[in-house]
Amino acid sequence: MPPEVLSAPLIVEFPFTRSTGPVLGAFLTGLRERVVLGARGSDGRVLCPPAEYDPVTAEELTELVPLGQLGTVTTWAWNERPRPYQPLDTPFAWVLVRLDGADTALLHALDAPRHAVRTGMRVAIRWADERSGAITDIACFEPAPNAGAPGDSHRAEGSAA
């Protein structure tokens, strides 16, 4: 009889260090200082996360604007079983959040009960206690303290739900 086939854990890890460039470097610096920056495009739209090049003209973008600490969920997906290294270790929603002052949405995690999560929901940034200039400086989003206030949820499609 052949021996039982072996198996063992195998972990492959590449400790990549990347240079961040002017726009993402400024964006990450902002996060470290609790300020979220967007980039203004040639058509006047504010993009967050900021793009390095204009989506319309492909020119370099150099005008960065601070955005609000509140935003609106534009879509979401529920994550019932978080995996290691995800932002939260309890069930949470992956959300696209359009921060006040921005015209595009940022992907992050929302710490809220499943029944409370909806498109058009108002959410607030929960900052990490220790920040180093990384997207994880935003620990996650959480329901805005005055949830239910008008805000700008009229701009979210499907907000009637």
Partner 1 sequence: MTTAAELLAGIPELAGVEPVTRVTIPARLEYTYSPGSAQTRFLTALPDKRLLAERCPRCTRVYVPPRGACPTCGIAATEQLELPHTGTVTTFCIVNIAAKGLDVEVPYCYAYVLLDGANVGLHARIGDTPYADVRIGQRVEAVWNEQRLGPSLASISHFRPTGEPDADPESYRRWM
Residues in contact with partner 1 by the rule CB under 8 A: 2-23, 25-26, 28-30, 32-33, 35, 37, 60, 62-66, 85, 133-134
Of 14 and 115, CB closest to partner 1? 14
38 three-state secondary structure: strand
Nearer to partner 1, 18 or 115 (CB): 18
State in angstroms the smallest separation of the CB of 123 from partner 1.
22
Nearer to partner 1, 89 or 157 (CB): 89
Give the nearer residue to partner 1 in terms of CB position, either 25 or 113: 25
31 versus 93: smaller Cβ distance to partner 1? 31
Contact 48/28 with Cβ under 8 angstroms? no
Which amino acid, residue 19?
S
3-state secondary structure of 127: strand
Quick check: helix, strand or coil at residue 37? strand
CB-CB contact of 115 with 16 (8 Å): no
Gap between the Cα atoms of 73 and 51, Å rounded: 20
Q: Give least dist CB 68 to partner 1, A.
A: 13
**Cα 20 → chain centroid:** 17
**Residue 90 and residue 119: Cα distance in Å, rounded?**
21
**Is 70:78 a contact under the CB 8 Å cutoff?**
no
Question: Minimum CB separation from partner 1 for residue 56, in Å?
Answer: 19
